[in-house]
Amino acid sequence: AQSVTQLGSHVSVSEGALVLLRCNYSSSVPPYLFWYVQYPNQGLQLLLKYTSAATLVKGINGFEAEFKKSETSFHLTKPSAHMSDAAEYFCAVSDRGYNKLIFGAGTRLAVHP
Amino acid sequence: DTAVSQTPKYLVTQMGNDKSIKCEQNLGHDTMYWYKQDSKKFLKIMFSYNNKELIINETVPNRFSPKSPDKAHLNLHINSLELGDSAVYFCASSQELNLNTGELFFGEGSRLTVL
């Protein structure tokens, strides 16, 4: 069955520091993987997605993620955190039929001065 | 102009009542969804519709009944509300059923509190 595990429900970084949010997946078919961000009291918006093209995927707001099949990982990174990056981040994998997304439990990113 | 809009944004009601949440998308998408986000932020799909046809019904109690009068609207009616129904309900849409090329566009959520 398809699933994702996000390691760390809370991550705290200093402004300007590297952001690393971890996601491991399990999939019985070639996976399509996504990162979404949720700002307070808002819906989710897509940061980036992997759909079997380049393994290094660049998204909005300076985020990127690398698909590593050997490690079944799709970690999200950003070289330098901004205060505005504080939000909840969700990793997701498509199901076997590619017609729904299965979300991880989310990681709350806090950025402090 | 909001792409996926839900009403109401907040809903407070008593146990046993019946309530509805409405969703509309103006993106011209074929597929719409309801997701439930619990107090721990865990997101789980409830339903999906493609061109008014029910595609996914994710073992949701019969008290929840979605209705799609046309492909731009997907409403959620909940009968006999229970305390455990308290959550944020998100409507979403995608251009087509297959998500390998598209993405989900989410509404801002409807926070339901059952007292």
pLDDT digits (tens, 9 = 90+) for A6-35: 999 999 999 999 999 999 999 888 889 999
CA distance A61 to A107: 17
Tell me if residue B84 falls in helix, strand or coil. helix
Contact A11, A107 (CB under 8 A): yes
CA distance B73 to B6: 10
Averaged pLDDT score across all residues of chain A: 93
pLDDT of residue B15: 97
- A85 - beta bridge partners? none
Confidence class for position B1, pLDDT limits 50, 70, 90: low
Residues A75, A43, B33, B111: what is their CA dihedral angle, to the nearest 10 degrees? 130
Interval B66-85 mean pLDDT:
95
For the stretch A66-90, pLDDT in tens is 999 999 999 999 999 999 999 999 9
- In this structure, the number of other CB atoms found within 10 A of the CB of residue A21 comes to 24
Whether the per-residue pLDDT at B102 is higher than 80: the answer is no
Closest-approach residue (CA) in chain B for A95 = B99
Residue among B40, B92, B100 minimizing CB distance to A94: B100
Whether the per-residue pLDDT at A54 is higher than 90: the answer is no
For the stretch B40-53, pLDDT in tens is 889 999 999 999 89
Residue A102 with chain B: CB contacts under 8 Å: 45
Residue among B41, B99, B106 minimizing CB distance to A98: B99
Interval A95-110 mean pLDDT:
88
Averaged pLDDT score across all residues of chain B: 92
Confidence class for position B101, pLDDT limits 50, 70, 90: low
- In this structure, the number of other CB atoms found within 10 A of the CB of residue A40 comes to 7
Whether the per-residue pLDDT at B99 is higher than 90: the answer is no
